[in-house]
Amino acid sequence: MSIRLNLYIILLVTAIVPFFVTLLFYVQLTNWYEREDSAEYLQALLRVTQISEFMKDRSQLVQQSDMLKQAVRSELHENEHMVVYSSSYNQLFSTNEGYTSGTVNVSKQVMSGLYELKSSGRLYTYKEPIRNEKGDILAYFALQIERTAVQEQTSQAYLFSILFFILAVGGTLTLVHFSLKKRMIKPINYILTEMQDIARGSESAHVESKLKQKNEMNQLIDGFENMNYRLAEAKKNEEEEVANQQRLIAAISHDLRTPLTSIRAYAEGMSDHQDKQDAYAKVILSKTEFMQKLINDLLSYSAIQATSFTLNLQEVEAEELAEILVDGYEEQSLDVSFSSEIFIEPAIVSCDVDRLIQVMDNLVMNAVRYSNEGGEVSILVTNKSKYLPSFVSYEPDQLYILVSDRGRGIPKEEQERIFSSFYQIEKERKQNNLSGVGLGLSICHELVQKHNGDMRVHSNGKGSTFYFSIPCSNHIQREENE
């Protein structure tokens, strides 16, 4: 439910519920009042009948107003009053001391509403002539019955109505408060607390599930958590980047200083040992080649990371590309033996050939470096599933290149991070002082990805296989079939 709809509902509840509840109470009060009024009216009619009979029986006392007044007072109840008029509309007496009917239109006042029980809010009024046995009018009486009981109960009922309305409003506002607190105030307080924790450098805790709601507030909390997660990841990446830069500086310093020291030592030795100049020259050349490779790796990594880096793509037949990638390695090393196999169905590959040769050089040189003396390095290039080992997940229209060695394996926990920049610096340095700064596999991985391909490693403890795949198109085969 959206916050806007929640607010509309809260506004509607706040405005209608107290009114509706009070209206129901008022309806019940009105029904009660009507019942009480009807009962009181019937009682007043009964009382009027009794007084009428009483006055008929006392008609002979009209000429003796004092005696009639005394008799009437003894008959009337505390809430009843009577005024008696003569046949000429003169007031004879009133049981309510101080009451006077005045002298204006008394006849009209007396004659209006005879034989009718009228209600005027606080009083019931009844008027009737007093006749003798012959039917002659001797006088008139006006009976007034006060409605004190109903009035008191009505006043109390109205007071209760006001109190009930106040309670209804208070109860509604309390419910609205708890609803707002649960749906809006509590999530907002959570976000504020988390923001303060983040400002202090503390880690943000995950939001409680009970705060989760299907509305904009939930989206705000999710967005806040996503932002916080991204900030934490950015901070972690920044720290890792700083650590990588520090390792890079340390690695470059070490890996450049070591061959430079050797070059200087052999250069100085050439003047002292004339007979060993050729051997010393070969060592110096080897060291400079390593330094050149190190610098080339750094330049390649920097270029790949740059946003302006692009591949020089060209369409090459898959079989021709395979021959280019495997050519020449058998003559490069006498320490290991090379074997290569190519099983290609006609296809076209759009690629940067020079960059793929760079990838192959890195993979093959690593395989040679970690192979035992007399070991074997094998290369397989194919786009046919039946020639792929079981650990390779085959997909059609892909060209697969595999480089395998039988040397030291790679622990499983390290296989997932082996393509990360600088990851192998420390371990490789322990194994070989001229191993580089750990950028080779990272560069290979980046180049393959820029070809929309994928690179992986498989190692079961003895030997390793690095393999990658790049997209190819088999439209040549389809055209031949047509």
User: CB neighbours (10 Å) of residue 302?
Assistant: 11
Please return the burial class of 221, using the count of CB atoms within 10 Å of its CB with bins 0-12, 13-18 and 19+: buried
**Domain 216-301, what fold?**
Helix Hairpins (1.10.287)
Residue type, 53: E
Q: CB neighbours of 180 closer than 8 A, spacing ≥ 6?
A: 10
Say how far apart CA 351 and CA 345 lie, in whole Å. 17
pLDDT band for position 478 (cuts 50, 70, 90): very low
Residue type, 275: D
pLDDT, mean over the chain: 78
Residues 268-295, mean pLDDT to the nearest whole number:
77
Say how far apart CA 460 and CA 390 lie, in whole Å. 13
pLDDT band for position 349 (cuts 50, 70, 90): very high
Residue 436: name the closest of 444, 427, 447, 445 by CA: 427
Residues 238-266, mean pLDDT to the nearest whole number:
71
Residue 479 has pLDDT above 50, yes or no: no
Using the structure block, give the residue that is written with the tokens 């209206």. Answer: 23
Q: Look at residue 313 in the predicted model and tell me its pLDDT.
A: 92
Residue 379: name the closest of 394, 366, 360 by CA: 360
Residue 459: name the closest of 382, 395, 366, 321 by CA: 366
Q: Look at residue 432 in the predicted model and tell me its pLDDT.
A: 45
Residues 382-405, mean pLDDT to the nearest whole number:
93
Residue 391: name the closest of 373, 369, 415, 363 by CA: 415
Say how far apart CA 91 and CA 139 lie, in whole Å. 10
Please return the burial class of 435, using the count of CB atoms within 10 Å of its CB with bins 0-12, 13-18 and 19+: buried
Residue-wise pLDDT tens digits, 283-325? 788 778 777 777 776 777 677 766 667 888 999 999 999 999 9
Q: Cβ distance 101 to 89 under 8 Å?
A: no
Same fold across 3-153 and 310-481: no
Q: Hey, where are the domains in the chain?
A: 3-153, 216-301, 310-481
Residues 347-373, mean pLDDT to the nearest whole number:
88
pLDDT band for position 39 (cuts 50, 70, 90): confident
More confident residue, 338 or 22: 338
Q: Look at residue 414 in the predicted model and tell me its pLDDT.
A: 81
Most confident of 116-120, 150-154, 325-329, 397-401: 397-401
CATH class, 310-481 region: alpha beta
Angle between helices 318-326 and 353-369 (to 10 degrees): 40
Pairing state between β 462-471 and 454-459: antiparallel
Residue 429 has pLDDT above 50, yes or no: no
Q: Look at residue 20 in the predicted model and tell me its pLDDT.
A: 74
CA angle 445, 448, 449 (to 5 degrees): 85
User: CB neighbours (10 Å) of residue 143?
Assistant: 24
Say how far apart CA 81 and CA 72 lie, in whole Å. 9
Domain with residues 3-153, CATH architecture: 2-Layer Sandwich (3.30)
